[in-house]
Chains A and B, each alone.
Chain A
């Protein structure tokens, strides 16, 4: 309360002082430390939660579609405006307190709904984090400062003599990544000292100076501490809620609502590509069809793995995992998969194969160990997780090949399908800007031009490649459609002759 009053007096607006002092929620941002304690109707309980869920679901789908942060931000703000408006304290004409109360209640209801499993908790935290970031970024600078002052973040300002002592390192750490257009002088920067474990994201990107376990965080990166704090708090709170949930049996009306909410989140956006068509169409995949299929339908990451496998008669662990799961979802049965790998690993004696590889193949089909049904890796997972080591051949060629190797590989793998050296500059420029999926989509368009796929069309309706199995499935669909078309045409001819 104190801080908001000083600000208002600074503005010299006495009517606002009164208004502010009666606000129950003085800040637009909320760390959700305290649960709401008012009485609310069951309808309110549900609508607050549903409206918030709409926003969160949109955020999550943006993640899945790999939208850049700016786009995600504008989409989230748009959604918020409709379902969950939250205005700055200066917007006196708006029902600020009511908005903030709705935000507060919605958050806590969803906590109840999403604390139940590890998976739900993880997704909820991720979406809530993004929402908090969007709001934090769009908050009025002065109001944000007030919000930060209202809470103890336990950061220690670095004393001047220490800044002087490590001046060279601090400047080097800051200048190694900053925007070249940023001309603010570096040596007048203020720093905060926190345990490095509180800012793992900054450490990961080497954006801070580290000494004896303390990270020297520049003022500009302060937000990173705030977000990390928000995440840690929420994770802890969710776990506590999960433990307390079994004792929540006071009201039988609440549990069905909560069930409904968590269902909605699950069904809303599917992040996994599931091949529904490939199993139903009757033609079973066999081990010896793979080589042929790979030449016609596989995206580059899989073709590369296939070629490596043919050349070396072996793939390292992550390569087997990436390729094996892809083949599984493509429709290769477990028996055929074992036959395929057995034949491919031709230098490996039978007993070694049975001992070291058979288990792993069966494991990936959910027949061993914890019997999980593993999904094939999406582009995002291939791009971001399990970076290839110096001897590995998995990963995304568009990202993990050097430019000249990529060009050579593109020509040797796809020239038979119509890719020419003239197409390379366009593909390479997408790669250079780190738009790896754009490059992959473009290659798809070029190599499927004879099926009538045009530039910008992607795998249909402008959709880009987000999953290797999507690439392969769409490619096979195109071929099937063409074959069917020829068949009907021929049948038509036969009919004509018959009559």
Chain B
């Protein structure tokens, strides 16, 4: 899957010098054209070759950041919160005067959390088929956050290998306290319990209806369930697969029955097995408690296999660092590009440009038409990085427009 070419420091340096969209990133973090605290008091952390980790860097403007990135040539860098003082002055201010105050609300969805259910790959590997898990998660989470919490400025960023990040830049989202972040994450978390817990969905009491937010998500997920889990991934084909399904069925008689049937016929597909289970439920009389119990269990199973699995710790604390968009994933060489959530189904992680590919594209352009214009920072326009930077720029300009509007509104009120 990964580009086999080696990612050399020279390659990285050329990428930072000529391609990395520092200006767009600055605008996205700063919300305005002139540098504000949102940028100047922001923590940047660099990972250098040999696992050297430099924390608490901060910069006055985009040029300063670019200069330092080119000087250090990190394998990647991360973005932290806005502190009450400049992070680079951390050692000179009182600890009490150095507190994280603002931070995008971030989410991290990682393929490893799906290892227990996906059948196509495992560990670091990712293919088009397992990407469907991610795209389902994106659709559910994106819709829920916009509709329930009313946030508008969501930026989805492919993490370069097997996951996706979400950055929310709305003013209210930036201002959330850790406690409020925790509440929001728990509202969104449905899958819970360690490797020793079979049933990981416990969002209701007994056979009560689901909370409305989860009920809304269930309908599209039911569709995903039959396409992804039953047809494509065929999760219940193997013995291990169907046994973990039966662990979630709260009726010992049905479990015994199905075990017998499926042991006799080991080649039964997941779709057939799911139909078997549903047929068993239909034999119970309508309206009986046992039938209701199984109907809710079926809903819970669908959720357990399809509902987004979040890495909750990332979202709960303002001072958590997260890799900056457009960094290069050190293992795959792919750029961490922004992704449009409305067309996430068509996104193919294997088509994301790698750093080597981009620089070759650039060489070709230079060889074709020697350019007298030596402006380096807009070189991305000549490569396949262009649509991704434009996606971010569009996001930034609408964000800036909103900030301008609210500022004008505040001025008028005087």
- Interface-facing stretch out of A9-17, A32-40, A81-89, A193-201: A193-201
Question: Quick one: given A172-B211, A388-B193, A401-B196, are A210 and B148 in contact (CB under 8 Å)?
Answer: yes
The answer to whether A206 and B203 have CB atoms under 8 Å apart is yes
Point out the residues of chain B lying under 8 angstroms from A389, CB to CB: 113, 194, 311-312
In the complex, what distance in Å separates the CA atom of A406 from the CA atom of B309?
24
- Interface-facing stretch out of B40-48, B128-136, B180-188, B222-230: B180-188
The answer to whether B196 and A400 have CB atoms under 8 Å apart is yes
Question: Quick one: given A213-B151, A386-B313, are A203 and B212 in contact (CB under 8 Å)?
Answer: no
The answer to whether A211 and B148 have CB atoms under 8 Å apart is yes
In the complex, what distance in Å separates the CA atom of A203 from the CA atom of B145?
13
Task: Verify if B385 is at the interface (C-beta below 8 Å from A).
Answer: no
Task: Verify if B215 is at the interface (C-beta below 8 Å from A).
Answer: yes
Task: Verify if A70 is at the interface (C-beta below 8 Å from B).
Answer: no
- Interface-facing stretch out of A101-109, A390-398, A462-470: A390-398
Task: Verify if B221 is at the interface (C-beta below 8 Å from A).
Answer: no
- Interface-facing stretch out of A46-54, A173-181, A291-299: A173-181
| Residue among A169, A355, A356, A390 making CB contact with B113, cutoff 8 Å | A390
In the complex, what distance in Å separates the CA atom of A387 from the CA atom of B311?
11
In the complex, what distance in Å separates the CA atom of A152 from the CA atom of B149?
25
Task: Verify if A405 is at the interface (C-beta below 8 Å from B).
Answer: yes
Task: Verify if B390 is at the interface (C-beta below 8 Å from A).
Answer: no
User: Closest approach, in angstroms, between the C-beta of A383 and any C-beta of chain B?
Assistant: 13
Task: Verify if A160 is at the interface (C-beta below 8 Å from B).
Answer: no
Point out the residues of chain A lying under 8 angstroms from B112, CB to CB: 391
The answer to whether A402 and B198 have CB atoms under 8 Å apart is yes
Task: Verify if B276 is at the interface (C-beta below 8 Å from A).
Answer: no
Question: Quick one: given A196-B149, A389-B113, are A209 and B197 in contact (CB under 8 Å)?
Answer: no
In the complex, what distance in Å separates the CA atom of A387 from the CA atom of B200?
12
Which residue of chain B has its CB nearest to the CB of A355?
B51
| Residue among B182, B195, B210 making CB contact with A390, cutoff 8 Å | B195
Point out the residues of chain A lying under 8 angstroms from B210, CB to CB: 172, 176
Which residue of chain B has its CB nearest to the CB of A394?
B194
The answer to whether B313 and A175 have CB atoms under 8 Å apart is no
The answer to whether A210 and B213 have CB atoms under 8 Å apart is yes
Question: Quick one: given A176-B205, A391-B113, A400-B194, are A206 and B199 in contact (CB under 8 Å)?
Answer: no
The answer to whether B51 and A390 have CB atoms under 8 Å apart is no
Q: Which of A187-218 contact B (CB under 8 A)?
A: 196-197, 200-201, 203-206, 209-214
The answer to whether A204 and B187 have CB atoms under 8 Å apart is yes
The answer to whether B196 and A206 have CB atoms under 8 Å apart is no
Point out the residues of chain A lying under 8 angstroms from B184, CB to CB: 200, 203
The answer to whether B192 and A204 have CB atoms under 8 Å apart is no
Which residue of chain B has its CB nearest to the CB of A169?
B212
Point out the residues of chain A lying under 8 angstroms from B180, CB to CB: 197, 200
User: Closest approach, in angstroms, between the C-beta of A449 and any C-beta of chain B?
Assistant: 27
Task: Verify if B381 is at the interface (C-beta below 8 Å from A).
Answer: no
User: Closest approach, in angstroms, between the C-beta of A115 and any C-beta of chain B?
Assistant: 12
The answer to whether B211 and A391 have CB atoms under 8 Å apart is no
Task: Verify if B277 is at the interface (C-beta below 8 Å from A).
Answer: no
The answer to whether A197 and B194 have CB atoms under 8 Å apart is no
User: What size tier do the contact residues of chain A reach?
Assistant: 35 or more
Q: Which of A134-171 contact B (CB under 8 A)?
A: 168-169
User: Closest approach, in angstroms, between the C-beta of B323 and any C-beta of chain A?
Assistant: 18
The answer to whether B204 and A176 have CB atoms under 8 Å apart is yes
In the complex, what distance in Å separates the CA atom of A169 from the CA atom of B209?
10
Task: Verify if B176 is at the interface (C-beta below 8 Å from A).
Answer: yes
The answer to whether B194 and A388 have CB atoms under 8 Å apart is yes
Total number of residue pairs linking A and B with CB closer than 8 Å? 117
- Residue-wise interface mask of B (32-73) relative to A, using a CB-CB cutoff of 8 A (1 in contact, 0 not): 000000000000000000010000000000000000000000
The answer to whether A204 and B183 have CB atoms under 8 Å apart is yes
Which residue of chain A has its CB nearest to the CB of B117?
A390
Task: Verify if B191 is at the interface (C-beta below 8 Å from A).
Answer: yes
Among A212, A355, A393, chain B packs the most CB atoms within 10 A around the CB of A212
Point out the residues of chain A lying under 8 angstroms from B215, CB to CB: 172
- Residue-wise interface mask of B (301-318) relative to A, using a CB-CB cutoff of 8 A (1 in contact, 0 not): 000000001011100000
| Residue among B149, B186, B196, B203 making CB contact with A213, cutoff 8 Å | B149
Question: Quick one: given A201-B183, A212-B150, A400-B196, are A390 and B116 in contact (CB under 8 Å)?
Answer: yes
Question: Quick one: given A213-B150, A390-B309, A393-B195, are A176 and B187 in contact (CB under 8 Å)?
Answer: no
Point out the residues of chain A lying under 8 angstroms from B191, CB to CB: 390
User: Closest approach, in angstroms, between the C-beta of A230 and any C-beta of chain B?
Assistant: 15
The answer to whether A392 and B209 have CB atoms under 8 Å apart is no
Which residue of chain B has its CB nearest to the CB of A170?
B212
| Residue among B179, B194, B204 making CB contact with A200, cutoff 8 Å | B179
Among A196, A356, A409, chain B packs the most CB atoms within 10 A around the CB of A196
The answer to whether B149 and A210 have CB atoms under 8 Å apart is yes
In the complex, what distance in Å separates the CA atom of A175 from the CA atom of B206?
12
Q: Which of A60-110 contact B (CB under 8 A)?
A: none
Point out the residues of chain A lying under 8 angstroms from B205, CB to CB: 176-177
Point out the residues of chain A lying under 8 angstroms from B192, CB to CB: 387
Question: Quick one: given A177-B205, A210-B149, A211-B147, are A390 and B212 in contact (CB under 8 Å)?
Answer: no
Point out the residues of chain A lying under 8 angstroms from B272, CB to CB: none
Which residue of chain A has its CB nearest to the CB of B149?
A213
Point out the residues of chain B lying under 8 angstroms from A395, CB to CB: 194
Point out the residues of chain B lying under 8 angstroms from A394, CB to CB: 194
- Residue-wise interface mask of A (448-467) relative to B, using a CB-CB cutoff of 8 A (1 in contact, 0 not): 00000000000000000000
User: Closest approach, in angstroms, between the C-beta of A440 and any C-beta of chain B?
Assistant: 16
Question: Quick one: given A176-B208, A200-B179, are A400 and B193 in contact (CB under 8 Å)?
Answer: yes
In the complex, what distance in Å separates the CA atom of A43 from the CA atom of B151?
54
In the complex, what distance in Å separates the CA atom of A205 from the CA atom of B187?
7
Which residue of chain B has its CB nearest to the CB of A198?
B180
Point out the residues of chain B lying under 8 angstroms from A173, CB to CB: 211-212
Which residue of chain A has its CB nearest to the CB of B189?
A387
Which residue of chain A has its CB nearest to the CB of B316?
A386
Task: Verify if B5 is at the interface (C-beta below 8 Å from A).
Answer: no
Point out the residues of chain A lying under 8 angstroms from B313, CB to CB: 386
In the complex, what distance in Å separates the CA atom of A405 from the CA atom of B193?
13
In the complex, what distance in Å separates the CA atom of A400 from the CA atom of B198?
10
Among A196, A206, A390, chain B packs the most CB atoms within 10 A around the CB of A390
Point out the residues of chain A lying under 8 angstroms from B151, CB to CB: 213
The answer to whether A172 and B183 have CB atoms under 8 Å apart is no
Point out the residues of chain A lying under 8 angstroms from B187, CB to CB: 203-204, 206, 210
The answer to whether B212 and A393 have CB atoms under 8 Å apart is no
Chain B contacts to A: CB under 8 angstroms: 51, 96, 112-113, 115-116, 147-151, 172, 176, 179-180, 182-184, 186-187, 191-200, 203-205, 208-215, 247, 309, 311-313
Q: List 26 A-B contacts (CB under 8 A).
A: A118-B96, A172-B211, A175-B209, A176-B209, A197-B180, A200-B180, A200-B182, A200-B184, A206-B213, A206-B214, A211-B148, A212-B148, A387-B192, A387-B312, A388-B195, A390-B191, A390-B195, A391-B115, A392-B194, A393-B195, A397-B196, A400-B197, A402-B193, A402-B196, A402-B197, A406-B196
Q: Which 5 A-B pairs have the closest CB atoms?
A: A388-B194, A213-B150, A200-B183, A212-B150, A204-B183
